[in-house]
Amino acid sequence: MLPVLLKIISISLMAATGWALKRSGRLSDVFTRELSVLLVNCIYPCLILSAILRNFTFASLAENWILPAGVAGILVIGWGVGQIFVKRLGHLPDETRRSFSLLAMANNYSFLPIMIVAALWGEKAVAQVSFASLGAELCIWTLGVRTICGGGRPECSFARNLLTMPILALAAAILILGTQTFLSPDGPLMTSSVLSMLLQTAHAMGQATIPIAAVICGARLAMIREGSLFSPLMAGLCALRLILIPAICVGIFHFLPIPRDVANVLTVIAIQPCAMAAVSLAEVYRIDAHLASVAVLDTHLLCLLTIPLWLYLLGF
């Protein structure tokens, strides 16, 4: 339990660094946006590519199809619960209602779970989280985009949003493993010095994913007005995201006939706070970005208590 708590505190300290740099004026809005572009389009895809190639074969990926399906299920459950409660928010602006729906649906399905499973089960679990994120990406860019903008705008195009660099990195990893199986069924294709060098490069770049993501999130949190951190709306959203939705998901995973290691990874993903990416999505699709920022901050603070409690109750 202590290693997990220390990992959560570690990512909080990274975010605090971004907060302090932004408050002191050393991080500009332009630089933060450009750093976000670098993270999404280069560094995070390198993490996905290296983690999958270092820990999976084509056959083991096929055997673990339940991982992306399970994470997609987590987001769909969050979306469904959010839709039930958002109907009771009729007095709020439509932008706030859409933002609430997104935050109930999208949790931190990659960066924070990667740190936690690395502390609990090692690099193979990191690769499982990376592969599982395929289900979340597909869900975000289909159901999620439709929920927050309703279609009708060019940026809501399914094809345009599906072709993101993380998705392409997943596709490249699967293609490489498939090629390896076809060309070298009795031995690893990665023995090539060139391919080995490329894999090492991707691995080294991918290690920067978590620190950079945390610093960016901290910089965005520095723009939140202190008086808006606590409200009945935020209390309800925190209860949904950290208690009710995880309880439904954990109950389902308990009864499904799936391997223990897969159930463990899906459980860790299910108990996560709101996705840091929700802030960027809110800005892009012109919904309530302030609500998204506050929700990310509040749920990440509260998860310092709820995640260790969930892991303790579940016997991890």
Provide the whole-model pTM.
0.76
Query: How many structural domains is the chain composed of?
Result: 1
What would the pLDDT profile of 37-63 be if each residue is shown by its tens digit? 788 789 888 988 887 888 777 888 788
Give me the CATH number covering residue 240: 1.20.1530.20
Task: Supply the pLDDT for residue 247.
Answer: 96
Closest CA to 102 of 300, 232, 302, 284: 284
Task: Supply the pLDDT for residue 216.
Answer: 80
What are residue 274's DSSP bridge partners? 107
Task: Supply the pLDDT for residue 243.
Answer: 96
* Neighbour tally for 162: CB within 10 Å: 15
Give the whole-angstrom CA distance, residue 192 versus residue 47. Answer: 20
DSSP 63: H
Greatest mean pLDDT among 68-77, 122-131, 223-232 lies in 68-77
Task: Supply the pLDDT for residue 100.
Answer: 92
270 touches 206 (CB < 8 A)? no
What would the pLDDT profile of 200-245 be if each residue is shown by its tens digit? 899 899 888 878 877 887 887 787 665 566 788 899 999 999 999 9
DSSP calls for 98-141: HHHHHHHH-B--SHHHHHHHHHHH-HHHHHHHHHHHHHHHHHII
What would the pLDDT profile of 133-153 be if each residue is shown by its tens digit? 878 877 887 788 788 876 555
Residue 153 DSSP SS3: coil
Does the structure show a pLDDT above 80 at 161? no
* Neighbour tally for 222: CB within 10 Å: 19
- Give the amino acid at 162: L
Contacts (Cβ under 8 Å, ≥6 apart) of 124: 55
18 touches 216 (CB < 8 A)? yes
For the four alpha carbons of 215, 162, 262 and 59, in that order, the dihedral sign comes to negative
Domain span holding position 170: 2-313
- Token pair, residue 82, equals 């959010």
For the four alpha carbons of 139, 143, 148 and 153, in that order, the dihedral sign comes to positive
Q: Return the CA Rg of the chain.
A: 19
